[in-house]
Structure 1
Amino acid sequence: MVNIFRLDIVKIVFLVCVLIGGVHTVKAQDILKSKDLTTLKVDALSDDDIAKIKQQLAQSGLTETQAEELAIQKGLPPIEAQKLKARLSAVTNSVSSGKTIAPNSAKNISRTVDTSALRYGGGEPFKSNVFGSELFTNNRLIFEPDLRIATPKNYAIGPDDELVIDVFGYQEANYRLQVSAEGTINIPLIGVISVNGLTVEQASKRIKDKMQQNGYANIATGKTQVQISIGKIRTINVTVIGEARKPGTYSISSLSTVFNALYLAAGPTDKGSFREIEVVRNSKVLVKLDAYDFLLKGDQSKNVRLMDQDVIRIPVAKVQVSLSGEVKREGVFEVLPSNNLQQLIDFAGGFTSEAYTASIQIKQVTDKERRVKDLPKAEFASYIPEKGDSIFIGKILDRYTNSVNIKGAIYRPGTYELSSGLTVTKLIAKADGLKDEAFRNRGLIIRTSELDLTKKVIPFSVQNIINKADVDIALQKDDEVIIGAADAYKQNYTLTLQGEVKKPGTFNYVEGITLKDLLFLAEGFTDASAVDKIEIARRYAGDSATNANNIAIIVDAATEKDLATIGADVPLNPWDIVVVRKKPNYQEQITVKIVGEVKYPGSYTLTTKSERVSSVIARSGGLTSFAFTEAASLTRINKVENRSLNEEKLKKLQRAVDDSSGTLATEISKPTIKVGLDLKEILNHPGGIDDVVLQDGDILNIPIQQREVKVNGEVMVPSDVVFKQGEGLNYYIDKAGGFTDNARERKVYVVYPNGSAARIKKFLFFKSNPKVTAGSEILVPQIPERKKAGLTTTEIIALTSGIASLAGVVIAILKL
């Protein structure tokens, strides 16, 4: 009994594999589908059985826990489920995909096939251009027997089938009996009945007769009813041989057909036949299946149900023909001796809409060489394709047999039919006529010669043809009529207006335009305009050789500011450049700002162009008692022209001051600059050389008093040191811990609160340190890194090794 269930679980797993073959994702409920596991004993399963189950669960994406839950739902006792989970977890080496699995039963010599090799969700499907191959490589097309249908009447019962016998009415009983290897069933108290090879209907009659004779006499009167059906379907062994992608013996459901087995074997190879597939039963050809009947017509009349030990033989295709080009389905097709070229084209779905069907080019293969055959359309139905034929369907010619074209200044440009008697005027009428901007003095016809395809131009007067003053021109095939636009043949003149107007720019020249008209288009003058000083630069015509040096004529003009239509006006010519000058004494207000320690900080408008720092300080109420006069500075906008230094000059300056960090370039390009002020000198001597003349946007900064000195750079502890009157530079450096080993002591400099700086000076043996004031900053620079002269360590080692080797050679020579 245990052996039966052990075989049964293998069959269960295999059936699940067949059911999920070709599916990308597997749902959990497909595992152990419609199976009763109540009597399964896990201890009776061999390691090979467990390995097979492990492999199938892995392919289905199920964990051991999920498998345990599903098995319990199907009736497996919890203790057995835990055993099964433990044994599945212990399996480390799963069976390789597609590898032959030998069942334990000596009676069953078939192989159970891992159909994951045919499910292309996890790998690349077979790629082939042979027509029909997609039937077996399409991962969305699944051939599997329907196990839920009623058992067919002609189904032949065999070993391992399960018969369900329901007795009801006057007497009641239920039997689930498995057909033995000898083809019999044993009904309790009734006896052994042979059902092998019988249909369900025949077996039902035999079973009823036997039961009627042994205790169920009421079957004859109808008081007792007996219903017989198939409970579990057996598996059969089918062998696929020949040109199959995966030939071999397969265990499949007894309801399977030829296509089910072919799908498991992945169908024919590229050189295998799709049209003469043989089903061999009892050493005789039962049927020849033509897959094209199914592919092209949906006909499955030859897709017979398989029986145990059937053989499916896929022979080599005798004639295969390549069909490409303008057909709806390109590929390699198999043709039989009865198929002609027209039928082959029908196999490919027919021609595309752009196929050239007047003739077809066929590249043939002879015994010695290749040759080309041009087959006219009349011979399509009589030509029988031969082995190695390569048939190409070309495209129709990209040209029209009866067309003319018109383009340009007409309402509907495009291609039109060359009807009988079509002329230029009739074609213009077909195109809904000329546009208003059409150029009527001239049109062109581009005509192509049919003899040598050369082109020639035929000019005509559009106006004269429309008015019938000239003879209308008859059009020919492929003529192209061109109607120009008048604007394209005119010079677009412009005027340029610059200076003190609201909207300066370039304007289109219009016949008769004057100076006031142009100023009107620019929305008039600005407040700064000098209306009596307008300059017109007029292009010099240069028609003669005289005055060859002249390039423009200057015209001085003046006008009224209100642009009234009365009064003097100046006519303008094409290309005139009009410049409205600015009033000589016109000046917009200049504003500066003062911040910090003054009584009334804020913005101040300068009264004169030469107003100075002392004047603005006086207007702000003077300094407060907290003003730090030594730190006063002026922030000024760095003008663009000051920032746009020549790149080469900047590089020279960087080399001169040894600036490799780019700091100098950054400082020069800053949008503002800081100007240090000697505020005491300015206030003591207003208007003097230190009293700076202010500019627009200047910011005068007078900070609050500071009593610290900053020490930064290459010192031990950069810090702020309280200012001490009378102490020198070394005092503050000592307070910061002194110099580091990397300090450049001779280049120490002091930056004062107002932005000016001073550094250590040296003359002969005398050294002069800069003065340190409150609020200043001492900066100790770093010794710049310099490349070491001489060889690197690696080079020295290499050179030494070379010398040592050379010395060894010399010593060896001397010893000779």
Structure 2
Amino acid sequence: MKKLITVIAIFMALFLSNSIVAQDILKGNDLSTVRVDYLSDGDIAKIKTQLQNNNVTIDQAEAMALSKGMSASEFAKLKKRLALPEGTKPTANKSVAKKKSNDLKSEDEEESDDDALRKQEKIVNKKVKDSLNSLVFGSELFDNPTLNFQPNLNLATPVNYVLGPGDELQISVNGVQEFSDNVPVSVEGKVNIQYVGQISVSGMTIEAATQKIKGAISRVYSTVRSGQSQVGVSLSRIRTIKVTIIGSKQPGNYSISSLATVYNALFLGGGPSKNGSYRNIELIRNNQVYKNIDIYRFLVSGNQSDNVGLKDNDVIRIPAYTNRVTVEGEAKRPGIFEMKKGERFSDLLNFASGFNEFAYTASVNVLQKTGKEFKVADIQAAQYSSYVPVNGDVFRISKILNRFENRIIIDGAVFRPDTYSFHAGMRVADLIRQAEGLKEDAYLKRARIIRLKEDLTTEIVNVDLAKAMNADVSANIELNKEDRVTVYSILDFKEDYKVTIDGEIKNPNVYDFQDNLTLNDLIVAAGGLTGSASKRVEIARMIRAEEIDEKNPNKVELFTIEINPESNEQATNFELKPFDVVNIRRMAVNDKPEMVLIGGAVAYPGKYVLVNKKEKIYSVIQRAGGLTSLASLNGIKIKRPIKKDQIEALENVNMNLGKKDSIQNKLKKKLKEDLKFATIPVDWDKVSKNQNSNANVTLLPGDEIEVSPFNETVKVAGNVLLTSEIPYKSGKGFNYYLDAVGGLDAKGWRKKAYIIYPNGQAAVSHNVLLFFRTSPTVTPGSQIVVPEKPEQHKLTTGEWVSIGSVITSLALLIVTAFK
């Protein structure tokens, strides 16, 4: 009964503590009994909501939860559950406690989220690139963070693994009877198993300890003795051991995994120091040299026989090197190498991965050091296996020469121009046959050989190719290596003739001339005649003569022929000569209909075709039905597009304003970008009375006629107090309308005010007599514009003083002159 009450109390405590966590993890006082494995998905969702409502991240809540008794392992489980999608639980054995790992990982390597069978504590060892010793062969092995030789903790435990204090075993009984627990190996080297007692395992292999533990458990669990239950023993946590590294870049004592090896420890220590040996590293165990490690065995052949496991209190000693040499030049892996006693230059080549493809392999130059000075020696290929490198030797492997032993070249009018191998006794015909023979356009009178002489100068040897191919020994001369044979083509000597066609043709251009080229051929090649082609064709032909004819002033000979414009095949098929120029003339009358646009207060606005070349504005307005009753007789104007040639003409005019003056540039910019049309005002009163007056403007294609409707207001704009439209009053002038908008502002320039009438015409004020000024008449629909005054530079006091001094000096000069 007592046991039952205890079980119920424990269950209630767990349940209540978990409920407290789920309800309010930030306000709970005691979280030591929390078991995250027993929290439901709903509880996890409540915790997420609680953290979000309090604007607290899970990392910020860690210190609070640990201070209230929650273990670090349980908080890690909670953090993991909160990171998983809702409804997902981690697949772990709830009876197996998750222990900290003692893994040898670099600082930037992330720890796996998967639940490994065993773990280790994370050891940080920052790697710094060794630029000082970068040429030393093997140095890159210890400053590369992707190489760390860490043991794989997920592999099966080695059967020869020796247990010791700090290890932890997972012991389980499965079957009729079940039991599971994680038991550490105490400092006395014993494990304490519930109901079984203490068992000494220190110094035993994992295999021997497993047998001993099974025997002890079978004495307590009867089903184990009968075989109804099975015992499992595995290593769940690995102890750390202490090793000392001497002579490394980062010497010191290191706590590392008991599964670690020599290379793992060397990596942690940064490898040998600047003068450290890579080939005579000592592993000292129990004050004796247990193993000599040669890293080159691993670097050159991948042999890891020296990568032995470490034990507690091992010492790794890296002595200074005794013999280093340097390999420069055309080796596959140049650098600084350490040599052992008795090793030869051939061994050094093996360390450097041999010569590269450009190396001169017949001999190697070596720079040696004597007791007083330097000495240079050459090692021949036969000495590679006997020469013993000496400390400080610098071996220089040079490049092969940029020349060929048996090269010969042929180019030009052969089917396969290329580089070929030369052999003694080779002749011109032999090389041509090797190049698949002569092409049809080959020039047989002559071939050229550029020959390299013994003093490296060149000479030209000419060959009669026709005789050489007919086995004439005198012409089929013998070749030398490095000869370059060139076979000419008859096309190389042919002039590149052209003919030109222009005018009413679809593709006027310059075309290649061929023999028997006719006018019909050229017309078809140029895409045929256009619809505006006339029957007249002019063909200009250059005059060729051996002597100058002073009586003939003509530069060309001119042919005028008639063609049928409706057909590209002419009855007179004129034969052309090189450099002829053909001009297809345009029909005398072949103008396409051109239009103007009329809009505004007319009966039928829209586009109208110009009937004749001098059609006037009055005629077009009458064709558009005349003016409507709403039209303003003073509001008719023509907007004429500014053409490209007008802008070009302005650009070609030199106004002599100086290079730095921007007036002309501003004017060109205004024409190009701002103004699209030029406005032509129309005096309709004159036009309607006399159609022959100058006011009846002749229209051009693209013109736009704008008839404004009648407007009874006058617009006032510019530098006035109020931009507005004022109703028109007959007889009122400038001042009336300026006063109606409040007058001018501080920058208004009354003298330069002007008016723009509805038809686009403008007028300004002007002086009549000395003190009288008249303003233009204001009409309905017009616009008064007041511009801004230019900024005036006021003279400073110093400038007034200077002017006064000049005037005084002039006065004195005048007085002096009249004395």
Instruction: Answer yes or no: same fold by TM over 0.5.
Output: yes
Deviates more, 1:483-492 or 1:192-201: 192-201
- Structure 2 CA distance for aligned equivalents of residues 438 and 420 of structure 1: 26
Tell me the secondary structure at the aligned position of residue 630 of structure 1.
strand
- State which of 312, 315, 318 in structure 2 corresponds to 1:314: 318
- Structure 2 CA distance for aligned equivalents of residues 547 and 665 of structure 1: 53
- State which of 628, 633, 641 in structure 2 corresponds to 1:629: 633
Count residues in correspondence.
Answer: 706
- State which of 734, 757, 760 in structure 2 corresponds to 1:755: 760
User: How many angstroms does 1:38 deviate by?
Assistant: 9.0
- State which of 400, 403, 409 in structure 1 corresponds to 2:404: 400
- Structure 1 CA distance for aligned equivalents of residues 288 and 160 of structure 2: 21
Structure 2 partner of 1:117: 125
- State which of 398, 417, 422 in structure 2 corresponds to 1:418: 422
1:738 is aligned to 2:747: no
Seen in structure 2, the aligned counterparts of structure 1 residues 668 and 182 have a Cα distance that, compared at 3 Å, is closer
- Structure 2 CA distance for aligned equivalents of residues 605 and 730 of structure 1: 46
- State which of 691, 698, 707 in structure 1 corresponds to 2:696: 691
Seen in structure 2, the aligned counterparts of structure 1 residues 256 and 517 have a Cα distance that, compared at 3 Å, is closer
- Structure 1 CA distance for aligned equivalents of residues 301 and 362 of structure 2: 28
- State which of 241, 245, 249 in structure 2 corresponds to 1:245: 249
User: How many angstroms does 1:290 deviate by?
Assistant: 0.8
User: How many angstroms does 1:278 deviate by?
Assistant: 0.9
User: How many angstroms does 1:663 deviate by?
Assistant: 5.7
User: How many angstroms does 1:249 deviate by?
Assistant: 0.6
- State which of 660, 682, 690 in structure 2 corresponds to 1:677: 682
Seen in structure 2, the aligned counterparts of structure 1 residues 726 and 171 have a Cα distance that, compared at 3 Å, is closer
Deviates more, 1:771-780 or 1:273-282: 771-780
- Structure 2 CA distance for aligned equivalents of residues 626 and 168 of structure 1: 110
Tell me the secondary structure at the aligned position of residue 511 of structure 1.
coil
Tell me the secondary structure at the aligned position of residue 439 of structure 1.
strand
1:439 is aligned to 2:406: no
Seen in structure 2, the aligned counterparts of structure 1 residues 786 and 573 have a Cα distance that, compared at 3 Å, is farther
Seen in structure 2, the aligned counterparts of structure 1 residues 744 and 195 have a Cα distance that, compared at 3 Å, is same
8 Å contact from structure 2 (residues 442, 488) kept in 1: yes
Identity over aligned pairs, percent? 37
8 Å contact from structure 2 (residues 282, 290) kept in 1: yes
Seen in structure 2, the aligned counterparts of structure 1 residues 499 and 78 have a Cα distance that, compared at 3 Å, is closer
User: How many angstroms does 1:351 deviate by?
Assistant: 2.3
Structure 2 residue identity aligned to 1:246 = Q
- Structure 1 CA distance for aligned equivalents of residues 573 and 204 of structure 2: 121
- Structure 2 CA distance for aligned equivalents of residues 81 and 519 of structure 1: 89
Tell me the secondary structure at the aligned position of residue 607 of structure 1.
coil
- Structure 2 CA distance for aligned equivalents of residues 572 and 186 of structure 1: 116
- Structure 2 CA distance for aligned equivalents of residues 173 and 643 of structure 1: 102
- State which of 268, 271, 285 in structure 1 corresponds to 2:272: 268
Structure 1: gaps of 5 or more residues: 1-36, 42-60, 86-96, 99-111, 793-816
Structure 1 partner of 2:327: 323
8 Å contact from structure 1 (residues 38, 75) kept in 2: no
Tell me the secondary structure at the aligned position of residue 536 of structure 1.
strand
Seen in structure 2, the aligned counterparts of structure 1 residues 628 and 197 have a Cα distance that, compared at 3 Å, is same
- Structure 2 CA distance for aligned equivalents of residues 610 and 780 of structure 1: 39
- Structure 1 CA distance for aligned equivalents of residues 267 and 688 of structure 2: 106
1:700 is aligned to 2:705: yes
8 Å contact from structure 1 (residues 714, 739) kept in 2: yes
8 Å contact from structure 1 (residues 761, 767) kept in 2: yes
Structure 2 partner of 1:453: 456
Deviates more, 1:721-730 or 1:124-133: 124-133
- State which of 712, 718, 722 in structure 2 corresponds to 1:717: 722
User: How many angstroms does 1:177 deviate by?
Assistant: 5.3
User: How many angstroms does 1:504 deviate by?
Assistant: 2.6
Structure 1 residue identity aligned to 2:685 = K
Deviations 1:550-599 (A, max 9, x none): 67224241223267988766554322223334444554434333222223
Deviations 1:164-191 (A, max 9, x none): 6779999998886544445456778998
8 Å contact from structure 2 (residues 529, 568) kept in 1: no
User: How many angstroms does 1:282 deviate by?
Assistant: 2.3
Seen in structure 2, the aligned counterparts of structure 1 residues 138 and 787 have a Cα distance that, compared at 3 Å, is farther
Q: What TM-score does the superposition give when structure 1 sets the normalisation length?
A: 0.75
Seen in structure 2, the aligned counterparts of structure 1 residues 636 and 224 have a Cα distance that, compared at 3 Å, is closer
User: Within 5 Å, which residues of 2 pair with 1:72-221?
Assistant: 76=73, 115-118=123-126, 128-162=134-168, 178-183=184-189, 196-200=202-206
User: Within 5 Å, which residues of 2 pair with 1:421-570?
Assistant: 421-449=425-453, 451-468=454-471, 471-515=475-519, 518-519=522-523, 521-522=525-526, 525-526=529-530, 528-532=532-536, 534-541=537-544, 543-544=546-547, 547=550, 552-561=555-564
User: How many angstroms does 1:694 deviate by?
Assistant: 1.8
Structure 2 residue identity aligned to 1:773 = T
Structure 2 residue identity aligned to 1:299 = N
- Structure 2 CA distance for aligned equivalents of residues 210 and 585 of structure 1: 125
- Structure 1 CA distance for aligned equivalents of residues 228 and 624 of structure 2: 129
Seen in structure 2, the aligned counterparts of structure 1 residues 228 and 602 have a Cα distance that, compared at 3 Å, is closer
- Structure 1 CA distance for aligned equivalents of residues 572 and 685 of structure 2: 61
Structure 1 partner of 2:340: 336
Seen in structure 2, the aligned counterparts of structure 1 residues 185 and 659 have a Cα distance that, compared at 3 Å, is closer
8 Å contact from structure 1 (residues 68, 81) kept in 2: no
Structure 2 partner of 1:103: none
Tell me the secondary structure at the aligned position of residue 346 of structure 1.
helix
Tell me the secondary structure at the aligned position of residue 347 of structure 2.
helix
Seen in structure 2, the aligned counterparts of structure 1 residues 611 and 259 have a Cα distance that, compared at 3 Å, is same
User: How many angstroms does 1:237 deviate by?
Assistant: 0.8
Structure 1 residue identity aligned to 2:440 = D
RMSD: 4.5
Seen in structure 2, the aligned counterparts of structure 1 residues 76 and 537 have a Cα distance that, compared at 3 Å, is closer
- Structure 1 CA distance for aligned equivalents of residues 725 and 557 of structure 2: 68
Deviates more, 1:548-557 or 1:704-713: 548-557
Deviations 1:50-88 (A, max 9, x none): xxxxxxxxxxx9946689999999984579989xx9xxx
Structure 1 residue identity aligned to 2:245 = V
User: How many angstroms does 1:672 deviate by?
Assistant: 3.2
Tell me the secondary structure at the aligned position of residue 284 of structure 2.
strand
8 Å contact from structure 1 (residues 38, 77) kept in 2: no
User: How many angstroms does 1:362 deviate by?
Assistant: 2.3
Structure 2 residue identity aligned to 1:709 = V
Tell me the secondary structure at the aligned position of residue 682 of structure 1.
helix
User: How many angstroms does 1:769 deviate by?
Assistant: 0.9
8 Å contact from structure 1 (residues 654, 660) kept in 2: no
- State which of 605, 611, 614 in structure 1 corresponds to 2:615: 611
Deviations 1:194-220 (A, max 9, x none): 6554545666788899999x9999999
Tell me the secondary structure at the aligned position of residue 142 of structure 2.
helix
User: How many angstroms does 1:685 deviate by?
Assistant: 0.9
Structure 1 residue identity aligned to 2:365 = Q
Structure 2: gaps of 5 or more residues: 1-30, 36-56, 83-105, 108-119, 799-819
Structure 1 residue identity aligned to 2:761 = S
1:640 is aligned to 2:639: no
8 Å contact from structure 1 (residues 540, 550) kept in 2: no
1:390 is aligned to 2:390: no
Tell me the secondary structure at the aligned position of residue 575 of structure 1.
coil
Tell me the secondary structure at the aligned position of residue 699 of structure 2.
coil
User: How many angstroms does 1:288 deviate by?
Assistant: 0.9
Seen in structure 2, the aligned counterparts of structure 1 residues 488 and 70 have a Cα distance that, compared at 3 Å, is farther
Tell me the secondary structure at the aligned position of residue 629 of structure 1.
strand
Deviates more, 1:596-605 or 1:536-545: 536-545
- Structure 2 CA distance for aligned equivalents of residues 444 and 578 of structure 1: 42
Structure 2 residue identity aligned to 1:703 = S
- Structure 2 CA distance for aligned equivalents of residues 621 and 654 of structure 1: 53
User: How many angstroms does 1:678 deviate by?
Assistant: 1.2
Tell me the secondary structure at the aligned position of residue 703 of structure 1.
strand
- State which of 579, 594, 617 in structure 2 corresponds to 1:575: 579
Structure 1 residue identity aligned to 2:787 = P
Structure 1 residue identity aligned to 2:294 = D
Deviates more, 1:280-289 or 1:427-436: 427-436
8 Å contact from structure 2 (residues 524, 568) kept in 1: no
- Structure 2 CA distance for aligned equivalents of residues 719 and 173 of structure 1: 101
Deviates more, 1:64-73 or 1:130-139: 64-73
User: How many angstroms does 1:304 deviate by?
Assistant: 2.0
- Structure 2 CA distance for aligned equivalents of residues 191 and 348 of structure 1: 61
1:770 is aligned to 2:776: yes
